[in-house]
Amino acid sequence: MADTPALPAVNREWHLLSRPVGWPQPEDFALVEAPMPTPGEGQVLVRNQYLSVDPYMRGRMSAAKSYVAPFELGKVMQGGAVGEVVASNAEGIAVGDHVLHFFGWREYAAVDAKNAVKVDPDAAPLSTYLGVLGMTGLTAYAGLLRTAAFKEGDVVFVSGAAGAVGSQVGQIAKLKGASRVIGSAGSDEKVKLLVEEYGFDAAFNYKAGPVGEQLRAAAPDGIDVYFDNVGGDHLEAAIGSLNQGGRIAVCGMISVYNNTEPAPGPRNLTRLIQTRGRIEGFLVGDHYDLQPQFVQEVGPWVASGALKYRETVVEGIENNLEAFLGVLRGDNTGKMIVKL
Please state, in angstroms and as integers, the Cα–Cα distance from residue 96 to each residue in 111, 309, 313, 335, 337, following that order. 15, 27, 24, 26, 22
Burial of 110 from C-beta contacts in 10 A (0-12 / 13-18 / 19+) = middle
Least confident of 60-69, 282-291, 323-332: 60-69
* Alpha carbon distance 165, 198 (integer Å): 13
Q: What is the mean pLDDT of the chain?
A: 93
DSSP β-ladder status, 311-315 and 335-339: parallel
At 122 the pLDDT is: 86
**pLDDT tens, position by position, 39-97:** 999 999 999 999 999 988 999 999 887 778 899 999 999 999 999 999 999 999 999 99
How confident is the model over 171-191, as a mean pLDDT?
A: 97
Residue 12 has pLDDT above 90, yes or no: yes
pTM: 0.82
At 260 the pLDDT is: 64
How confident is the model over 279-306, as a mean pLDDT?
A: 91
**pLDDT tens, position by position, 192-236:** 999 999 999 999 999 999 999 999 999 999 999 999 999 999 999
Please state, in angstroms and as integers, the Cα–Cα distance from residue 237 to each residue in 157, 219, 268, 330, following that order. 10, 11, 9, 20
At 2 the pLDDT is: 45
How confident is the model over 247-272, as a mean pLDDT?
A: 83
Closest CA to 291 of 115, 68, 141: 141
Please state, in angstroms and as integers, the Cα–Cα distance from residue 63 to each residue in 3, 216, 239, 251, 280, following that order. 41, 39, 31, 21, 25
Residue 166 · residue 141 · CB < 8 Å:
no
Looking at per-residue pLDDT, the higher value among 172 and 164 belongs to 172
Q: 252 pLDDT band (50/70/90 cuts)?
A: confident
* Alpha carbon distance 82, 252 (integer Å): 24
* Alpha carbon distance 229, 235 (integer Å): 9
Least confident of 67-71, 130-134, 186-190: 67-71
Residue 164 · residue 136 · CB < 8 Å:
yes
Residues above pLDDT 90, as percent of the chain: 81
Q: Within a 13 Å sphere around the CA of 280, how many CA atoms are in the beta-carbon half?
A: 16
Residue 249 · residue 144 · CB < 8 Å:
yes
Neighbours of 159 (CB within 10 A): 31
At 259 the pLDDT is: 67
Q: In degrees to the nearest 10, what's the CA dihedral of 35, 39, 43, 48?
A: 50
